[in-house]
């Protein structure tokens, strides 16, 4: 356990070092905190735009899944501490589609989530000249329309209808060939251009790509040093940045449901927690919400070396999961 007398700021390990001084009073009202931003690869949602997700908001309309679904793992991690997420979907993906008779149905957004959609067409029980067209998501109805022909169909939040002529009854035709695709470094550069005009506190980059990391560090330096926006960027295993605006996360965590997060994925929680912290609040010894262990354990000497290198890491203590944080050297 850390200990010793306080003389000057020469401590490496986090611990209780007491140095009592008079607390200064803020000259003005502190700004709003708790806005985090993340560029993510997702299986649904509008791509290449900033989508705002508030803590506690129903994510189905925007992201196609409830917040509890594994597809939104990093969204959930970021919002454990932050009040608002500025999400940018970096991948456009391939849209799922199907043709039934004269009708073609295409998923509204690209991605694998489109493969969970099915279209059911049946004759209306009250009028034999009309058809009921139902859109199902994993068997649950998300839209229903009664029309005479294809021209009467209106696109909904999940699919786009096209074609001409009459409808033909069908017990259910699933949409197919939806794919998430991938993201390039240019997609991440486009994200940085899109997020720059927004108000935010932190950015997480859940990627191991060295080129992307370098671009995010340069972005943070420009905004902080040239624009006066004291934002922070959270990256995995990038102590070489050696800059106060960059937080380097060394290890991941294991959640109480058995999910293991890599260091890259853990950046989401770290960025959310950093954004949500008050300006006079440190995350040293802050407990990672819902975590029961770290994904990689380090010795005391390894932790000290990591802290001296400016890395954000977690030991496993008897009190639970805690974090050590050093931003600069």
Which tens digit of pLDDT belongs to each residue from 50-106? Answer: 999 999 999 999 999 999 999 999 999 999 999 999 999 999 999 999 999 999 999
pTM (2 decimals)? 0.83
The CA-atom distances, in angstroms, between 141 and each of 62, 123, 134, 156, 224 are 17, 17, 7, 12, 48
Q: What is the mean pLDDT of residues 103-121?
A: 98
Check if 35-91+182-321 and 97-174 are the same fold: no
Please say if the pLDDT value at position 325 is more than 50: no
Q: Where in the chain are the domains?
A: 35-91+182-321, 97-174
The CA-atom distances, in angstroms, between 148 and each of 101, 125, 136, 151 are 15, 13, 20, 8
Do the Cβ atoms of 62 and 51 come closer than 8 Å? Answer: yes
Domain covering 35-91+182-321: architecture:
2-Layer Sandwich (3.30)
The Cα–Cα gap between 235 and 246 comes to 7
Measured between its terminal Cα atoms, the distance across the chain in Å is 22
Confidence at residue 297, expressed as pLDDT on a 0 to 100 scale: 75
The Cα–Cα gap between 54 and 59 comes to 9
Using CB atoms within 10 A of its CB, is residue 109 exposed (0-12), middle (13-18) or buried (19+)? buried
The Cα–Cα gap between 107 and 98 comes to 9
DSSP string, 223-265: IIIIS----EEEEES-GGG--TTEEEE---EEETTSPEEPHHH
Please say if the pLDDT value at position 17 is more than 70: no
Confidence at residue 296, expressed as pLDDT on a 0 to 100 scale: 73
CATH topology of domain 97-174: Immunoglobulin-like (2.60.40)
Please say if the pLDDT value at position 4 is more than 90: no
User: 35 is written with which tokens?
Assistant: 């806005």
249-275 pLDDT, tens digit each: 988 999 999 999 999 999 999 999 999
Using CB atoms within 10 A of its CB, is residue 56 exposed (0-12), middle (13-18) or buried (19+)? exposed
195-238 pLDDT, tens digit each: 999 999 999 999 999 999 999 999 999 999 999 999 999 999 99
Do the Cβ atoms of 98 and 110 come closer than 8 Å? Answer: no
Confidence at residue 308, expressed as pLDDT on a 0 to 100 scale: 65
């Amino acid at each position: 356990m850390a200990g010793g007398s306080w003389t000057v700021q020469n401590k490496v390990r986090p611990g209780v070092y007491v140095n009592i001084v008079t607390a200064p009073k803020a000259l003005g009202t502190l700004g709003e905190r708790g806005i985090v931003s993340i560029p993510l690869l997702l299986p649904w949602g509008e791509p290449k735009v900033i989508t705002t997700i508030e803590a506690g908001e129903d994510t189905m309309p925007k992201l196609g899944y409830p917040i509890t679904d594994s597809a939104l793992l990093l969204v959930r991690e970021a919002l454990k501490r932050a009040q608002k997420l500025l999400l940018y979907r970096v991948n456009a993906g391939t849209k799922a589609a199907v043709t039934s008779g004269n009708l073609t149905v295409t998923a509204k957004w690209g991605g694998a989530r489109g493969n969970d959609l099915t279209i059911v067409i049946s004759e209306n029980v009250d009028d034999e000249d009309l058809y009921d067209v139902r859109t199902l998501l994993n068997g649950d109805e998300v839209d229903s329309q009664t029309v005479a022909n294809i021209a009467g169909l209106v696109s909904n939040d999940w699919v786009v209808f096209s074609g001409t002529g009459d409808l033909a009854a069908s017990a259910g035709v699933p949409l197919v060939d939806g794919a998430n695709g991938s993201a390039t470094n240019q997609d991440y550069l486009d994200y940085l251009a899109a997020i720059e005009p927004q108000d935010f506190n932190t950015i997480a980059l859940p990627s191991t790509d060295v080129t992307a990391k370098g671009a995010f560090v340069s972005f943070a330096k420009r905004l902080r040093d040239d624009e006066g926006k004291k934002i922070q960027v959270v990256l995995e295993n990038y102590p070489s940045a050696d800059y106060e605006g960059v937080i380097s996360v060394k290890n991941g965590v294991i959640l109480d449901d058995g999910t293991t997060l890599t260091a890259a994925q853990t950046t989401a929680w770290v960025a959310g927690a950093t954004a949500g912290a008050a300006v006079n609040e440190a995350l040293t010894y802050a407990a990672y919400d819902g975590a029961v262990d770290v994904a990689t354990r380090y010795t005391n000497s390894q932790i000290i070396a990591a802290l001296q290198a400016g890395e954000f890491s977690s030991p496993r203590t008897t009190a639970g999961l805690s974090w050590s944080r050093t931003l600069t050297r």
